Amino acid sequence: MKLSITLILTLVAVVVCTAQPVKTMIPFNKGSIGLSVGHYSFDPGIMASVTTPFFLNNKFALRIAGGIRWSEYYLAETNKSAYYSSMQAGVLYFITQEDRVRVYSELGFNIVFPNAVFSDKKKMTGVQGLVGLDFFTYSRENFGLVYFVEMGYSVNPATAEKLEGQPNYANGLMAVTGFRFHL
């Protein structure tokens, strides 16, 4: 976890220090494809996302994502700790600073598909909310690259009922970073 936080802070510093003001915002309100890594509660994970083009005066978009996470509780005992997750959310973009940084909030549903090794459930649905920063790193007429950092919270009733103590997972603080490619 400490290594992840250090990596995230280092990437943020590099992007902020090297980012140049973007001359046009046109590519950054189009739809995007994203890749991210993060800690979802105590579970590391990798996600891929798709975001719609902006609407409602270029302030709102819809995002879906899916990925794989590894349960920290089961990881110590075996490599069979992977479980899958998906997310559907509305994204509200509300502050853009000097064509370099954009602040947004995201609120939506998350669905966890537990691993049969530690749970009998087929899926568990919860909610999540987060706040994020987009750093505009590269822009051309039909392409934009954004580095992002997100912090938020997830509430999901997922428990590993087959493990001792029936620990919760996919529930708690989230710290995520990645890139979005606006096409």
Confidence bin at 5 (pLDDT 50/70/90): low
Q: Mention every residue, 6+ apart, whose C-beta is less than 8 A from residue 62.
A: 51, 52, 88, 89, 90, 91
Task: Tell me the C-alpha distance between 154 and 35, whole Å.
Answer: 19
9-45 pLDDT tens trace? 555 545 544 555 555 555 678 899 999 999 988 889 9
- Better-predicted residue by pLDDT, 2 or 129: 129
| pTM attached to this predicted model | 0.82
108-125 pLDDT tens trace? 999 999 988 888 899 999
Say whether domain 2-182 belongs to CATH 2.30.29.30: no
Residue boundaries of the structural domains of the chain: 2-182
- Better-predicted residue by pLDDT, 160 or 65: 65
- Report in angstroms the alpha-carbon separations of 80 from 57, 111, 115, 129, 174: 46, 20, 8, 28, 22
